[in-house]
Amino acid sequence: SVRELFFSPGWENNDIGAWAAVRSDPEKRWVTHAMISNPPAYVHVHIAERLGVPLHMFFPMPWSRTKLLGHPMSSKELDENAYWRLLSYSWFDQMQWHGMAAAVNEFREKVLHIPKIGMWHSAGSLLENWGVPFS
């Protein structure tokens, strides 16, 4: 299922998974000050929002809009036209989001205790709208 594919085992459990890796632990004197992530992690922007910490994205392939290269997961045919290359990022982002929205919103509400986001506010659009740096 999408849930199993994109989230750590037990992602809905507060004690394991991505959320457990970054949340503060009073016994270990751990405080998260910033997050570094890559696009396929998918829950990065939501966890950073919950923690109120800066997020910086890193990935070896272009994963942010560009007219020079289409999205890494897009069709080669799209690469022949700058307009389609640019749009390929939005298309891919929306396709991913429509498959994961229910699971992500459940994670936001039940684990992170932050409000759900709408169908047009995917992780990719949040990264772009919030100006998250990408290297």
Sequential pLDDT tens for the chain (135 residues): 344 444 444 555 555 566 666 666 667 766 788 989 888 777 888 989 998 999 999 988 877 777 788 888 777 776 678 888 888 888 888 888 888 888 889 888 988 899 998 877 766 678 888 888 988
Strand partners of residue 48: none
Residue 99 to residues 25, 93, 121, 124, 132, Cα–Cα distance (Å): 32, 10, 13, 14, 23
Map tokens 């429509």 to a residue. 98
Tell me which DSSP letter residue 77 carries: G
Task: Give CA–CA dist 29/77, Å, rounded.
Answer: 52
Tell me which DSSP letter residue 69 carries: S
Q: Residue 5's pLDDT is what?
A: 40
